[in-house]
Amino acid sequence: MNVLIVSALWGVLMMFTGAFLKSNATVRFLAITGMLALVVVNILEMKGIHLVDFNIKDMMEFDRTSLLFIAVATISSLIYLLLSAADMERVGKYYSEYFALLFFIICGITLTSSFRSLLVLFLGIEIISIPLYILTGSDKRNLKSNEAALKYFLLGSFSTGLMLMGITLIYGTIGSFDTLMISKPTEGGPTSVLLIAGMLLLMFSMAFKASVAPFHFWTPDVYDGAPTVFTSFMATVVKAAVFIAFIRLFSDAFGNIQPQWQLFVAILTVATLFIGNITAVFQQSVKRMLAYSSIAQAGFMMLSLYSMNGDAKEGLMLYVAAYSLATIGIFAVLIKMSDYTFHGFNGFAKQQPLLAATTTIFLLSLAGIPLTGGFIAKFYMLKAALGTGQHLWLVIFAVLMAAVSVYYYFRVIQAMYFKESEIQAIAFHISPAFKWTLVILAGLVILLGVFPELLLNYYYF
């Protein structure tokens, strides 16, 4: 609740700073302070201190999962701002508006991670999506950016339509938007066809937002076309939020009819893993590779939806944290590069040993090598999926695809360490603060891999 209020207010505040503040540095400082404030007020709420208290009439519920995820999201966003806020200056001249939109997205994320009514879910998804359409097209003179924004907007509004349709059908059957009510009447007698249809429509639209195959077609183009600073945010915090909403929706509202959709989710998982990983192998641009990698990682996250047990929920939290942190780190480095292809990374280790070392840690985490957060996250997913006791082939398929993923992540490492190049890979200024933030981020990734309890303990204590 704290974050919801503060982020909305701060977003409005950021909009006005553009009119009154001349210096970009002040705007940036204000934005980072705001994000820090969000982290703090969320921690306060985790400790039981509420800034405001009013009746939300069971529309939302701030339970441990949602507070923990908001913590992950705000901390990731804070690191993201620390690393990349300065690079937003290069996108266009409406510097303060970009921050305002980011705060609105955080506001939407608080809604989607704590909804109990489908209306709030819908509101949250829209509050996330609309600023994203704008950010995607924020590089106004770039045709690719324009194309990406239009494509994203058209397809995104289509999927929103599907979601509304689904909610309507469910409301028609149950007579309520409340997830608790939805899960109630189906106990016992046969499940209503309308409810199933509504659930499928919701699944499709959420799958679209989470770029799960076969609804992923917008992802590579949009991620590639959008300014890289915003791709970083979209592919990490936003994607994580959608997944948390996805699992929240399906465990709360449709958890009791899991057998009816489990196989369906398994098929989506296989398709996502296959398409994401295999296509990523053939990419020449690291940015596009990361877009496909985000699809591939979504496939792994789908395993939590498939298994839907205790491990799955904890694992998903770890997964989104590990994935977001590592991807933010890689993008932060990528933004500074002059050439986005794999060749652009040639000789990087010689020129920038520290950046190369941290990037390697992030890549190892994404590939799921032990001692990194990525490993323990994948580990939880596999454990959860095996815990269901069926469909062993799904798990084996997932690990085969994980082995494929090593191929494209390690291509970057190969370029950095084993190939030489005379051309300076870094095109923009690297400040010491940037380096230190990256080192801390890499430290977090490793800390998460060695002591995952640090994050998960909040579930229990």
Residues in contact with other proteins by the rule CB under 8 A: 364, 368-371, 375, 379, 382-383, 386-387, 389, 392, 395-396, 399-400, 402-403, 406-407, 410, 414, 417-419, 451-453, 456
Our CB check for other proteins shows the closer of 40 and 371 to be 371
Q: Which candidate, 165, 169, 86, 99, places its Cα nearest to that of 134? A: 99
Our CB check for other proteins shows the closer of 406 and 440 to be 406
Helix, strand, coil % (nearest 5) of the chain? 80, 0, 20
Q: What's the min distance (Å) between Cβ of 24 and other proteins?
A: 38
Q: Which residues contact 261 (CB under 8 A, 6 or more apart)?
A: 199, 200, 203, 250, 254
Q: What's the min distance (Å) between Cβ of 461 and other proteins?
A: 11
Our CB check for other proteins shows the closer of 63 and 453 to be 453
Angle at 315 between CA 310 and CA 319, to 5 degrees: 160
For residues 415 and 362, give the distance between their C-alpha atoms in angstroms, rounded to a whole number: 15
Q: What's the min distance (Å) between Cβ of 442 and other proteins?
A: 15
Our CB check for other proteins shows the closer of 196 and 416 to be 416
Q: What's the min distance (Å) between Cβ of 323 and other proteins?
A: 18
Q: What's the min distance (Å) between Cβ of 369 and other proteins?
A: 6
278 backbone dihedrals φ, ψ, rounded to 5°: -65, -40
Before 131, cis peptide (omega within 30)?
no
Q: What's the min distance (Å) between Cβ of 382 and other proteins?
A: 6
Our CB check for other proteins shows the closer of 27 and 413 to be 413
Q: What's the min distance (Å) between Cβ of 374 and other proteins?
A: 12
Our CB check for other proteins shows the closer of 407 and 436 to be 407
Amino acid identity, residue 299? Answer: G
For residues 190 and 85, give the distance between their C-alpha atoms in angstroms, rounded to a whole number: 53
Amino acid identity, residue 122? Answer: F
For residues 376 and 151, give the distance between their C-alpha atoms in angstroms, rounded to a whole number: 36
What secondary structure letter does DSSP report for 388? T
Our CB check for other proteins shows the closer of 32 and 371 to be 371
Q: What's the min distance (Å) between Cβ of 387 and other proteins?
A: 6
How many CB atoms within 10 Å of residue 343?
Answer: 15
Our CB check for other proteins shows the closer of 44 and 371 to be 371
**What is the DSSP code string of 344-357?**
GGTTHHHH-HHHHH
Q: Which residues contact 226 (CB under 8 A, 6 or more apart)?
A: 135, 136, 138, 139, 145, 148, 149, 234
Our CB check for other proteins shows the closer of 217 and 410 to be 410
Q: What's the min distance (Å) between Cβ of 409 and other proteins?
A: 11
Q: What is the largest CA-CA distance in the chain?
A: 71
